[in-house]
Amino acid sequence: MIAKSKKAHKLMARLQLRVGSKKSIQPGHSPFDARSVLSVHEHGKKARTPLGAFFNRPIIAAILLVWTMGCANPVFTIQPIEDEPSLLLGLASSPDRSSEAQTPHDHPVEWTISDLQAILKRLAIQEGSGIMDSSRRPQTVFSQENLTHLVPALQQAFKRASPSDWIVFAVWGSSEETQGLEVTSGGMFLQDQQLHILIANHRERVSSEKDGIQAIRENPFHVLREVKRSLLFYPTNYVMASRNKWVMSGFGSPVSELILDYQSLLATDRPVESTETAEATVSELPKTDRIPSSSKEAEVGALQEEVSTLKEELSRLKQKMKQQTTDPSPTNTP
């Protein structure tokens, strides 16, 4: 009887807990020994939950602050050189404090119109990076109309740029298909005697004032649409690298960058004033960013000769077979 009485007492105690008994509960705990997510006042102080205690650690707060700053758009201070409805070009300084950003640029520098024209008209872009995309025809980055307005402004910008400046641009135009507003934007700088060309948007349609025009004017490296693309240049032997680059460490989307040994190009083939259009220049480009090397050309030549020899041999065999069918075969006499 005593054992049954004790069991009944324990059962009643459990039932009282489930219906809200006034049994004392430790602060911060539920009746079922699970941590409460509600704040509990103890001795006049607000108790911390495990999650709150985690985010209140100084190191975690610092990491969150850095991450938040990294996700924000970089703030560029742009000094306009040209600001027209069809072109925005200026000098920009970036708040990036990475070691690469701190390397001084080779500015100011004197360019000639013909030098800039000869380089930029050979610049092309190809969307996609897979095997199936290699058959797509590269497109010129700048049309001849673009270069007519862009090159003189670039010449002035490089002349006025300081070692800490970037040359940034946004070329506005209308789409031939939809007649909507589109933009090509990016930047350039000289570093270690190499020309860096960066493209963030290529003939990208601008959907709205806030998301398009204003965003690009504040930061020409702002990417409007995520797309895989690669910058090309012909002849390719002057290309030092073609890659994706984050303009600021840990920020946003990468842009397409081409690093060019422009001095070797201009030294070996000094351009003259030319009326050749950019489209005509890019029409010389192969369908991929690679052209046959001298060894490949020799291999192709050898294969062509071998095919020619086989054709001649096949022709002789056909002629011999024809003769055998027309001539009577000799008969054996007893």
pLDDT digits (tens, 9 = 90+) for 248-257: 654 578 899 9
For residue 244, the cross-strand partners are: 256
Structure tokens at 95: 């708040």
Phi and psi (nearest 5°) for 184?
Answer: -120, 120
Provide the CA 99 distance to its chain's centre, in angstroms.
Answer: 21
The answer to whether residue 187 is domain-embedded is: yes
The answer to whether residue 90 is domain-embedded is: yes
Closest CA to 105 of 12, 220, 3, 191: 191
Structure tokens at 327: 């001539």
Helix (H) or strand (E) holding 4: helix 2-18
The answer to whether residue 73 is domain-embedded is: no
Is pLDDT at 30 greater than 50 in this prediction?
no
Packing angle of the helix pair 113-120, 144-160 (nearest 10 deg)? 130
* Stated pTM of the model: 0.62
Neighbours of 229 (CB within 10 A): 18
> What is the distance between the alpha carbons of residues 191 and 162, in angstroms, rounded to a whole number?
12
Q: Is the dihedral of CA 207, 169, 248, 124 positive or negative?
A: positive
> What is the distance between the alpha carbons of residues 9 and 7, in angstroms, rounded to a whole number?
5
The answer to whether residue 15 is domain-embedded is: no
Bigger pLDDT: 316 vs 191:
191
| Residue 187 burial by Cβ neighbours in a 10 Å radius (0-12, 13-18, 19+) | buried
Q: Is the dihedral of CA 98, 100, 102, 108 positive or negative?
A: negative
Is pLDDT at 191 greater than 80 in this prediction?
yes
Over residues 125-150, mean pLDDT: 81
Judge contact between 140 and 120, C-beta under 8 A.
no
Please, what is the average pLDDT of the chain?
74
Of 25-29, 143-147, 216-220, the least confident: 25-29
pLDDT in tens, 73-104: 556 789 999 999 999 999 998 656 565 667 89
Over residues 122-148, mean pLDDT: 81
The answer to whether residue 51 is domain-embedded is: no
Instruction: Grade residue 48 by pLDDT with cuts at 50, 70 and 90.
Output: low
> What is the distance between the alpha carbons of residues 224 and 206, in angstroms, rounded to a whole number?
8
Percent of the chain at pLDDT exceeding 70:
56
Is pLDDT at 36 greater than 60 in this prediction?
no
What is the pLDDT, as a whole number, of residue 226?
87
pLDDT in tens, 196-230: 999 999 999 998 776 789 999 999 999 998 888 89
For residue 89, the cross-strand partners are: 82, 169
Over residues 238-243, mean pLDDT: 94
Which residue segment(s) compose the domain that 238 sits in? Answer: 78-282
Instruction: Grade residue 43 by pLDDT with cuts at 50, 70 and 90.
Output: very low
Instruction: Select, from the ranges 121-130, 248-257, 308-317, the one with the highest average predicted confidence (pLDDT).
Output: 121-130
What is the pLDDT, as a whole number, of residue 42?
46
Is pLDDT at 153 greater than 90 in this prediction?
yes
What is the pLDDT, as a whole number, of residue 287?
46
Domain count, the chain: 1
What is the pLDDT, as a whole number, of residue 32?
42
| Residue 217 burial by Cβ neighbours in a 10 Å radius (0-12, 13-18, 19+) | middle
pLDDT in tens, 267-311: 886 554 444 444 555 555 544 434 334 444 555 556 666 666 777
Structure tokens at 148: 């007519």
What is the pLDDT, as a whole number, of residue 175?
83
Neighbours of 98 (CB within 10 A): 12
For residue 257, the cross-strand partners are: 198, 243
Instruction: Grade residue 320 by pLDDT with cuts at 50, 70 and 90.
Output: confident
Residue 33, phi-psi category: left (phi > 0), alpha (psi -120 to 50), beta (remainder): left
Is pLDDT at 330 greater than 60 in this prediction?
no
For residue 229, the cross-strand partners are: 127
The answer to whether residue 303 is domain-embedded is: no
125 secondary structure, DSSP code = E
